[in-house]
């Protein structure tokens, strides 16, 4: 706080002091702070602060020897919106005639402190204590706001003492007291539980004296045995005290006969004379394969031969072989038909040839059932027919096809026997089921005839090219064209020279 150099009485304050000496009450009402500069003004003449910034409630009034008193207040910048220099300090009192007056005043001048506005990084909170003149007033008081009364740090420190020496984690009064209370409360709960466990009921709310008395009543014992750990009827002591009686059942000698289900071993005392019975027949040879009895696995060769639905007979087992059926040994009588064996009989059913095999075993590798017929040869089977893997070569006649087809307008290259070529339209036929060897084609408009001879007679196409009339007389022009170039007789069709018109044709296999 700035150096005010003491507060001086104003003329109004001096007048009030005279009234106080005459017996009037001296009542201080408030304090105030401002930033006014005194300049040439005289303090006695002031009746208010030059530039009031904040009014302060009185929080302390302590009489002092020599006709003086300490008057105090406090302030914070939390409600100050604009910073200012704390240059003026005034104390106000109540005059019985003039009402509230400026009693005394001080100005720090150039030594004023700056009070920043609230809401920023600087939080300012200060206590102000000033000495004021009371004279010989018999009745001095102040209007004090109890909500703002503070105790000074020295006064508080003297009352509380040095908290740094307190053996607690917290080093403030409230924290240390709370910590101490919690520690004592928790300790009493633990102590009460421990005394109770020793057989003397004790509550955490009992006083320390009551707890001390209960401790002296504890009958000492030791051990961790519990009631169920000690044989029934036997007494013992443990950590919780003496006088305990066991509850463990006495089972004596217990004998166990193994069975299909688990058997519970009864809880309690066993005297060691009991047994789990064994059996000398418990061996692998007496146990079925895949079964494990008390850790003994069954023998692989021991199997269940029971078959109630379809048991095998001797005739169904290969001769010389043996098998167990429903617990009995059976020797087989089935013949082994290795290699080829003749069918007993044969018959035909539709397209199926049936062969009756002789009874016996066949391994399916090279064991065939056979039948022989001298007439089963290719010459007796139609040409191209595959009968049980044998393809026939018998030809019973030639196939014929006829039709009407429009010759192609596209030009194809045909070769004369002389080697020269001619470009003409072509008659192209496909879709036949055979290879033609003789083809005749004649124009519907009867001005062109083409004959193709069998290739084994003449390897070319004979063309008769001449118009003919209603009398079917014509003077043919014979020309030979090779089966080369575009001309061909192939499987399924043929290509021969023609004119761009419709033809009737006739093809022979």
Give 56-101 pLDDT, tens digit per residue. Answer: 999 888 888 888 889 999 989 988 999 999 999 999 999 999 999 9
Q: Which of 148-152, 195-199, 225-229 is the least confident region?
A: 148-152
CB atoms under 10 Å from CB of 13, counted, come to: 25
The string of pLDDT tens digits covering residues 244-255 is: 898 999 988 888
| DSSP conformational letter for 286 | G
Q: Indicate the pLDDT class of residue 143, thresholds 50, 70 and 90.
A: low
Per-residue pLDDT, 212: 92
The pair of structure tokens assigned to 133 is 């003149």
The listed range with the strongest mean pLDDT (74-88, 122-136, 470-484) is 74-88
The band of 428, judged by pLDDT with boundaries at 50, 70 and 90, is very high
* pLDDT for position 366: 82
CA 227, chain centre distance (Å): 50
What span, in angstroms and rounded, lies between the C-alpha atoms of 16 and 29?
A: 14
d(CA 308, CA 310): 6
d(Cα 312, Cα 310) in Å, to the nearest integer? 6
- Give mean pLDDT, residues 36-54: 95
Q: DSSP labels for 347-364?
A: EEETTEEEEEPPSSB--S
Q: What SS3 state is found at 301? A: coil
Nearest Cα neighbor of 41 from 105, 100, 95, 133 is 105
pTM score of the predicted model: 0.34
Query: Please, which residues have CB within 8 angstroms of residue 423's CB and are 6 or more apart in sequence?
Result: 411, 412, 413, 414
Q: Helix or strand or coil: residue 293?
A: strand
Q: How many helices (H) and strands (E) does the chain have?
A: 4, 35
Comparison of pLDDT for 6 and 471, the residue scoring more:
6
Instruction: List the domain boundaries for the chain.
Output: 8-150, 219-245, 341-391, 400-508
| Strand arrangement of the beta sheet that strand 449-452 belongs to | 400-406, 502-508, 438-443, 449-452, 460-464, 478-482
Q: How far apart are the C-alpha atoms of 235 and 221, rounded to whole Å?
A: 12
Max CA distance (Å), the chain: 182
CB burial readout 372-390, b (16+ within 10 A) else e: eeeeeeeeebeeeeeeeee
- Distance CA(53)–CA(81), nearest Å, equals 11
- Count CB neighbours of 64 within 10 A: 11
Q: What are the residues whose beta carbons fall under 8 Å from the beta carbon of 499, sequence distance 6 or more? A: 407, 424, 425, 443, 447, 448
3-state secondary structure of 348: strand
- Dihedral of CA atoms 12, 36, 108, 30 in degrees, nearest 10, equals 50
What's the distance, Cα to Cα, between the start and end of the chain in Å? 139
Band of pLDDT at residue 159, cut at 50, 70 and 90:
low
Q: How does the average pLDDT of the chain come out, rounded? A: 84
DSSP state letter for 447: S
Rounded distance between C-alpha atoms, residue 369 and residue 333, angstroms: 21
């Amino acid at each position: 706080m700035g150096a005010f150099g003491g507060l001086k009485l104003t003329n109004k304050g001096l007048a009030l002091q005279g009234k106080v000496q005459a017996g009037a009450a001296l009542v201080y009402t408030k304090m105030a702070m401002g930033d006014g500069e005194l300049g040439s003004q005289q303090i006695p003449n002031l009746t208010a602060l030059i530039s009031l910034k904040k009014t302060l409630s009185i929080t302390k009034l302590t009489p002092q020897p020599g006709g003086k008193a300490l008057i105090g207040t406090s302030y914070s910048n939390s409600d100050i919106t604009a910073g200012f220099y704390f240059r003026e300090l005034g104390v106000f009192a109540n005059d019985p005639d003039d009402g509230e007056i400026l009693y005394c005043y001080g100005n720090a001048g150039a030594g004023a402190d700056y009070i920043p506005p609230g809401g920023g990084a600087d939080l300012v909170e200060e206590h102000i204590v000033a000495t004021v003149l009371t004279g010989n007033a018999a009745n001095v008081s102040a209007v004090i706001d109890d909500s703002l009364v503070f105790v000074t740090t020295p006064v508080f420190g003297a009352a509380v003492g040095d908290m740094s020496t307190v053996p607690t984690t917290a080093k403030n009064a409230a924290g240390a007291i709370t910590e101490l209370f919690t520690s004592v409360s928790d300790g009493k709960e633990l102590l009460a539980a421990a005394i109770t466990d020793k057989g003397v009921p004790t509550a955490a709310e009992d006083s320390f004296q009551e707890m001390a008395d209960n401790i002296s009543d504890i009958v000492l014992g030791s051990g961790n045995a519990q009631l169920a750990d000690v044989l029934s009827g036997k007494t013992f002591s443990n950590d919780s005290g003496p006088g305990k009686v066991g509850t463990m059942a006495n089972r004596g000698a217990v004998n166990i006969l193994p069975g299909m289900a688990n058997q519970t071993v009864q809880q309690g005392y066993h005297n060691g004379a009991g047994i789990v019975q064994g059996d000398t027949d418990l061996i692998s040879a007496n146990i079925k394969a895949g079964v494990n009895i008390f850790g003994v696995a069954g023998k692989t060769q021991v199997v269940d031969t029971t078959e109630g639905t379809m048991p095998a007979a001797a005739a169904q087992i290969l001769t010389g072989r043996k098998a167990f059926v429903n617990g009995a040994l059976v020797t087989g009588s089935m013949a082994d038909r290795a290699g080829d064996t003749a069918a007993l009989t044969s018959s035909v059913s539709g397209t199926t040839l049936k062969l009756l095999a002789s009874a016996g075993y066949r391994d399916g590798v090279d064991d065939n059932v056979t039948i022989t017929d001298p007439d089963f040869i290719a010459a007796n089977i139609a040409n191209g027919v595959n009968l049980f893997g044998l393809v026939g070569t018998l030809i019973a006649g030639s196939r014929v096809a006829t039709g009407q087809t429009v010759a192609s307008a596209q030009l194809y290259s045909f070769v004369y026997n002389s080697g020269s070529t001619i470009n003409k339209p072509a008659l192209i036929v496909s879709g036949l089921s055979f290879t033609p060897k003789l083809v005749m084609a004649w124009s519907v408009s009867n001005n062109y005839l083409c004959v193709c001879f069998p290739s084994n007679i003449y390897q070319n196409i004979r063309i008769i090219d001449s118009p003919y009339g209603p009398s079917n007389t014509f003077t043919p022009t014979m020309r030979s064209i090779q089966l080369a170039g575009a001309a061909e007789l192939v499987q399924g069709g043929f290509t021969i020279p023609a004119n761009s018109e419709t033809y009737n044709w006739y093809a022979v296999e």
